[in-house]
């Protein structure tokens, strides 16, 4: 299961990197979304995957039963998803404005501001 998730993270990150490096602004946005998912899935997987019941500690127990995945990592991912969604929404508006400004030239249209 972890191997599968690891391959998925790698694929997402590879596709995301490829798209971010392309010329079109919309491709960059898609690439960022994929990279965000890769990072989120990585955090989710790194804490361990496992089949367990609801992650509630019983009245007589002090710790979560053995074999349970760590619920804290899932809480972290939840926060990270909210953040990346917000930033992506901002990025969408920004790229739209940039596109209106520099036309369909894509990222190569940004070059004139570098010097």
Partner 1 sequence: MTVPALIVLPAILPLVLALAAWLARHTPSLSRALLITGTGLLLLATIGLFLAVREPGMPLRLDFGAWEKPLGISFHVDLLSAILVVVSAIVAFAGALFAASEIGRLVWAKGYGTFYFLLLAGINGAFLTNDLFNLFVWFEVMLMASFAMLVLGRRRHVFEGATQYVVINMVSSFFFLAGLGILYGKTGHLNLDELATRLVASGNDPVILSSAALLLLAFGIKAGVFPLYFWLPPAYPNTGFATAAVFGGLLTKVGVYALFRVFGGAFGFLSGFTSDLILWVGVATMITGVLGAASQFHVRRILSFHIVSQIGYIILGLGLFTQGAIAAAIFYTVHHIFVKTNLFLAAGAIASTGRSEELGRLGGILKASPLLAFLFLIPALSLGGIPPLSGFFAKFLLLRETLRAEAWVVAAIALIVGIATLFSMVKIWGEAFWKDSPRPTGPLRHRPAQLVPVAALGLLTILIGLFPGPLFELANEAARQLLASNPAYVPASQ
Give me the residues that bind partner 1 (CB under 8 A), please: 20, 25, 28, 32, 35-36, 38-40, 42-48, 70, 72-73, 76, 79-80, 83-84, 86-88, 90-91, 94-95, 97-98, 101-102, 109-110, 112-115
Alpha carbons 63 and 67: distance in angstroms, whole number: 12
Q: CA torsion angle for 8, 92, 90, 101 (degrees, to 10)?
A: 140
Alpha carbons 51 and 106: distance in angstroms, whole number: 46
Alpha carbons 102 and 115: distance in angstroms, whole number: 17
Min CB(76)–partner 1 separation in Å: 6
Nearer to partner 1, 54 or 115 (CB): 115
Helix (H, G, I), strand (E, B) or coil at 107: helix
Nearer to partner 1, 8 or 109 (CB): 109
Q: Please state the separation of Cα 69 from the chain's center in Å.
A: 20
**Tokens representing residue 113 in the block:** 């501001």
Min CB(23)–partner 1 separation in Å: 13
Nearer to partner 1, 56 or 96 (CB): 96
Nearer to partner 1, 56 or 79 (CB): 79
């Amino acid at each position: 299961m972890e191997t599968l998730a690891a391959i998925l993270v790698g694929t997402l990150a590879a596709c995301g990197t490829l798209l971010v490096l392309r010329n079109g602004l919309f491709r960059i946005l898609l690439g960022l979304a994929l990279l965000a998912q890769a990072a989120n899935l990585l955090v989710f997987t790194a804490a361990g995957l496992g089949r367990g019941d609801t992650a509630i500690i019983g009245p007589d127990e002090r710790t979560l039963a053995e074999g349970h995945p760590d619920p804290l990592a899932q809480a972290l991912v939840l926060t990270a998803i909210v953040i990346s969604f917000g930033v992506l929404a901002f990025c969408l508006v920004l790229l739209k404005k940039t596109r209106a400004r520099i036309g369909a030239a894509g990222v190569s249209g940004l070059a004139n501001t570098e010097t």
